[in-house]
Amino acid sequence: MRNVIVNADDFGLCRGVNYGIVDSHRFGIVNSTTMLVNMPGTLHAVELAKLYPELQVGIHLTLTCGRPVSGGVPSLLGERGFFRYTSRIFEEKEIDVDEVELEWEAQVDKFLSFGLPLSHIDSHHHVHSFRPLIPVVKRLSERFGVPVRNALPVSEGMNVLTDRFSMAFYGEGVSVGGLKSILESRREGETLEIMCHPAYMDSFLKGNSSYCEQRLRELDVLTAAKYLS
């Protein structure tokens, strides 16, 4: 296990995100990413991942963007066949756990069909940390033999990716100084994951995410950080 994992979320969202992540790996400090398997940029991300095998690739499970991969999950559907949930999923009183497990297993199976090694599991909008779904995540982790992002309210018995997870490199926290502060906070021997979202702007990203220009700033910082002493 590497001491510091700098993981870029949303690989596969669109080409602008994909290129931003790959450049943050080639010319910066990103050494890991997690892929959405149900979005317009997925196959483009697969092609890039195969060109850069040193970039570790996990799965970015989702219930909050795109369409389901599986059939037979009507409770997860909204209008026009897209997922009905948003980042406010944590306010839901009830959720069909069996349908979520069916869908997430299908997402992992689709990832594996691309012929890429699966490094770990995390999720879009951190939905894997929604308490009713934590047992599902634990079963998937065990079934596929991979660790899980340590962004969980309860992790007893879970195979977690690192000792600690930081989401501080986001929004106003995106700066060279902010990144150095996160890295300097790591205790001796502690493993740490830092979440990031680098990207170039494209029309899909602009039309589908409220976090756009900030991604360009992340890209600048992550590539500049490679040259810090």
Show pLDDT as tens, one digit a residue, over the chain (229 residues): 479 999 999 999 999 999 999 999 999 999 999 999 999 999 999 999 999 999 999 999 999 999 999 989 999 999 899 999 999 999 999 999 999 999 999 999 999 999 999 999 999 999 999 999 999 999 999 999 999 999 998 878 999 999 999 999 999 999 999 999 999 999 999 999 999 999 999 999 999 999 999 999 999 999 997 765 4
Q: What is the CATH number of the domain that holds 163?
A: 3.20.20.370
Owning domain of residue 183: 18-200+214-227
Q: Let me know if residue 206 belongs to a domain.
A: no
Q: Are residues 225 and 203 in contact, defined by beta-carbon separation less than 8 angstroms?
A: no
Domains held by the chain: number: 1
Nearest to 130 by CA among 177, 188, 64: 64
Q: Is residue 113 part of a domain?
A: yes
In a domain, 5, yes or no: no
Candidates 225, 219, 175, 177; CA nearest to 200 is 219
The label of the residue with tokens 């306010």 reads: 91
Q: How far is 160 from 177, CA to CA, in rounded Å?
A: 28
